[in-house]
């Protein structure tokens, strides 16, 4: 490729700016030999040995990663270990060996089979885990062949470029020398994205095959906020970029310090800025980044990646582990939200033609009552033990009947705990997620029967605009700043306030500075977002004035298209020096 200024656009996967020379991580292609065998036992022993050595590698990598306090990454390698201990995967490979196939071919056939199964799951978070099976599969294959995986040693600070980086690729890198990541493939939930976020480094993914044409050593400027990359920049554009980088870094550090104070608007109005968390590992992050509690605790992690339901006792333990970081603070837990794009294999859920419109979220109460009862009982116990200000909400509510059914269940859960003399959080608030348009349209009726609403703009947007959020062909159309979605948000907030109830928003929109003026103008009470977004949003809040935002929000509601809203928000923030032009 010529040595000229080229701009590439991809998907923003982790925020931040970085500049530097690229190092390309090439995946080594290992050929899979195929030959007939006669000694099945010897071949099975070869496979067992390769798996054992791989498990040993993973133990070492995990220990190293943990020593660097990278718990997200350590979790990934734990999942790799689990794959290698999975009877279904290893058993399938051994069955192939017993039919006369050599260990390498038998192993890779089983790996490919399970990876393809995983890829066919519509949930992007789960389907992207296929990369883990292939990654760990390759590790075992390399040991069977006696070959190296060809990992790269960095000698200077570099931007890492690859097709789609696997956890093993990144684990071997010296973190202190990584400036950022760019990949040709991958989506916002790919490993590259998860790891980059946990390192606090920028990443741009899905840049296309052109990315791989640049020779090693090419200078890149990467912007993880918007998903753009400039290769071979001119001296002048590089200098401008570096100035922006220095300014942004300093701003983030200031914002993080300031984030330890409560969020208030410029005119002294209090807003709550809280965290979205998804498991035991990321529970402390909210506090670290200055969140004032939790606005969405996704509980699916407890049910995924295992082969049977968690018991009530197991759940109490896990919830206590999470709650203990937030004693005395507001803590909103969302009950199990499966179905749709979230599949739990051991529940044997029926295949549906339109899973997003199917049996999901609270709708599963009808048919899976025991699962919900165990969860409510566990939450009420853990909430009392750890003394959090517990608020329980249910997802996918579309009407009043579901609210009545859940309240009945909650009352029974409390009764049973009382009669068994177990701890019980008697004053836990009860709320619903407003993420189905019917719930927003009926918010005035629903508000009378709940303590709060939390608006789930991720789903509310997909249902309002009829855009499947997991379908890459149309997902760009799913912008919550669409005036249709904004009208529903406003309606929900006003309806709740008329009944004296509070409203939060826990979709991605809450952590989006562009949306803050509108949401402050709508008088949203609680903003819940990924912990890393907390400092910036708190900083933005300080520069907003309620009345000015209310006027702006009114103007925005008169607009007709999503682009007009985006442009108006952009101009509003630029005028107040909250974002760069
Ligand atoms: C939402 O729909 O906005 C939400 C927060 O829930 P999830 O993304 O888990 O569906
Ligand atoms: Mg949702």
Q: Whose CA is nearest to atom 6 of ligand 1?
A: 456
Instruction: Provide the pLDDT for residue 515.
Output: 96
**Positive or negative CA dihedral for 561, 567, 573, 578?**
positive
Of 261-275, 387-401, 475-489, where does the model show the most confidence? 387-401
Q: Which residues are catalytic?
A: 191, 506
Residues around ion ligand 2, judged by CB within 5 A, are 435, 456, 459
* Tokens of residue 303, six digits: 């049910």
Question: Of 3.50.50.60, 3.40.190.10, 3.20.20.60, 1.10.3720.10, which CATH number belongs to 260-575?
Answer: 3.20.20.60
Q: Round the average pLDDT of the chain to a whole number and report it.
A: 89
Give the three-class secondary structure for 38.
coil
In whole angstroms, give the CA distance from residue 292 to residue 416. 32
Percentage of the chain beyond pLDDT 90 is: 59
- C-alpha 146 to ligand 2 mean position (Å): 46
The confidence band for 316, taking pLDDT boundaries of 50, 70 and 90, is very high
Read off the pLDDT of residues 129-168 as tens digits, 9 standing for 90 and up: 788 888 889 889 988 987 766 567 788 899 999 888 876 7
Beta strand 219-223 pairing with 17-24: antiparallel
CATH of domain 40-145: 1.10.274.10
Read off the pLDDT of residues 466-495 as tens digits, 9 standing for 90 and up: 988 766 677 778 889 999 999 999 999 999
Which ligand is nearest the CA of 504, by number? Answer: 1
DSSP letters of 90-143? HHHHHHHHHTTB-HHHHHHHHHHHHHHHHHTSS-HHHHTTHHHHHHHHHHHHHH
Instruction: Provide the pLDDT for residue 173.
Output: 76
Higher pLDDT, 281 or 384: 384
* Tokens of residue 463, six digits: 């249902």
Phi, psi angle pair for 247, to nearest 5°: -65, -45
Tell me if domain 40-145 and domain 260-575 are identical in fold. Answer: no
In whole angstroms, give the CA distance from residue 504 to residue 133. 38
The confidence band for 522, taking pLDDT boundaries of 50, 70 and 90, is very high
280 pLDDT more than 90: no
What kind of fold does domain 6-26+151-254 have according to CATH? Answer: Glucose Oxidase; domain 1 (3.50.30)
Which ligand is nearest the CA of 396, by number? Answer: 2
Q: Whose CA is nearest to atom 9 of ligand 1?
A: 298
Higher pLDDT, 171 or 519: 519
Residue 185 per-residue DSSP state: S
Q: Count of alpha carbons within 13 Å of 570, Cβ hemisphere only? A: 8
The confidence band for 256, taking pLDDT boundaries of 50, 70 and 90, is confident
The contacts of residue 236 (CB under 8 Å, 6+ apart) are none
Per-residue burial over 76-110, b = 16 or more CB atoms within 10 Å of its CB, e = otherwise: bbebbbebbeeeebbebbbebbeeebbbbbbbbeb
In whole angstroms, give the CA distance from residue 83 to residue 80. 5
In the chain, domain spans? 6-26+151-254, 40-145, 260-575
Q: Whose CA is nearest to atom 8 of ligand 1?
A: 458
Indicate whether this model's pTM tops 0.75.
no
Pocket test for ligand 1, best of 341, 394, 433, 467 (most atoms within 8 A of CB): 433
- C-alpha 435 to ligand 2 mean position (Å): 6
Strand partners, 228: 9, 223
- C-alpha 509 to ligand 2 mean position (Å): 12
Instruction: Provide the pLDDT for residue 578.
Output: 81
Which ligand is nearest the CA of 454, by number? Answer: 1
């Amino acid at each position: 490729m010529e040595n000229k200024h080229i701009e590439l656009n991809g998907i923003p996967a982790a925020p931040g700016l970085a500049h530097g020379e690229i190092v390309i991580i090439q995946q080594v292609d290992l050929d899979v030999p195929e030959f007939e065998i006669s000694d099945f036992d010897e071949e099975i022993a070869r496979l067992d040995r390769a798996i054992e050595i791989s498990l040993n590698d993973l133990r070492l990598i995990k220990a190293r990663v943990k020593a660097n306090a990278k718990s997200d990454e350590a979790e990934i390698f734990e999942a790799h270990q689990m794959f290698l201990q999975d009877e279904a995967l290893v058993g399938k490979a051994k069955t192939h060996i017993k039919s006369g196939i050599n260990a390498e071919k038998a192993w890779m056939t089983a790996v490919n089979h399970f990876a393809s199964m995983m890829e066919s799951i519509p949930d992007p978070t789960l389907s992207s885990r296929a990369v883990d099976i292939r990654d760990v599969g390759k590790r075992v294959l390399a040991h069977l062949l006696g070959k190296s995986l060809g990992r790269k040693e960095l000698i200077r600070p570099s931007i890492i470029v690859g097709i789609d980086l696997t956890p093993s690729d990144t684990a071997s890198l010296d973190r202190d020398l990584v400036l950022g990541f760019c990949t040709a493939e991958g989506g916002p939930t790919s490993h590259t994205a998860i790891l980059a976020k946990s390192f606090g480094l920028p990443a741009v993914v899905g840049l296309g095959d052109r990315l791989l044409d640049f020779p090693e050593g090419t200078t890149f400027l990467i912007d993880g906020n918007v998903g753009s990359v400039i290769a071979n920049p001119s001296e002048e554009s590089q200098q401008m970029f570096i100035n922006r980088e220095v300014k942004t870094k300093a701003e983030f550090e200031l914002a993080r310090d300031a984030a330890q104070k409560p969020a208030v608007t410029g005119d002294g109005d209090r807003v709550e800025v809280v965290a979205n968390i998804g498991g035991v590992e990321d529970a402390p992050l909210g506090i670290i980044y200055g969140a004032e509690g939790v606005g969405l605790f996704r509980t699916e992690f407890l049910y995924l990646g295992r082969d049977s339901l968690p018991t009530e006792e197991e759940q109490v333990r896990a919830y206590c582990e999470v709650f203990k970081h937030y004693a005395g603070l507001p803590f909103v837990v969302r009950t199990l939200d499966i179905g749709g794009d979230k599949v739990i294999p051991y529940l044997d859920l029926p295949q549906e033609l339109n899973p997003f419109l199917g049996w999901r979220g609270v709708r599963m109460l009808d048919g899976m009552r025991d699962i919900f009862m165990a969860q409510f009982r566990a939450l009420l116990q853990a909430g009392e033990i750890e003394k959090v200000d517990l608020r329980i909400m249910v997802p996918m509510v579309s009407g009043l009947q579901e609210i009545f059914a859940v309240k009945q269940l909650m009352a029974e859960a409390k009764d049973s705990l009382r009669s068994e003399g177990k701890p019980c959080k008697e004053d836990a608030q009860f709320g619903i997620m407003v993420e189905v348009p019917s719930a927003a349209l009926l918010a005035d009726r629903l508000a009378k029967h709940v303590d709060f609403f939390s608006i789930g703009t991720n789903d509310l947007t997909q249902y309002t605009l009829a855009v499947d959020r997991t379908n890459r062909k149309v997902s760009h159309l799913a912008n919550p700043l669409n005036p249709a979605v904004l009208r529903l948000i406003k309606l929900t907030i006003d309806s709740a306030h008329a009944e004296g109830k509070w409203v939060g928003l826990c979709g991605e929109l809450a952590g989006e500075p562009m949306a803050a003026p509108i949401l402050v103008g709508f008088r949203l009470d609680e903003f819940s977002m990924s912990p890393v977004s907390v400092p910036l949003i708190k900083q933005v809040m300080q520069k907003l004035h309620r009345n000015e935002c209310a006027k702006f929000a009114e103007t925005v509601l008169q607009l007709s298209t999503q682009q007009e809203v985006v442009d108006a928000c952009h101009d509003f923030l630029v005028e107040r020096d909250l974002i760069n032009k």
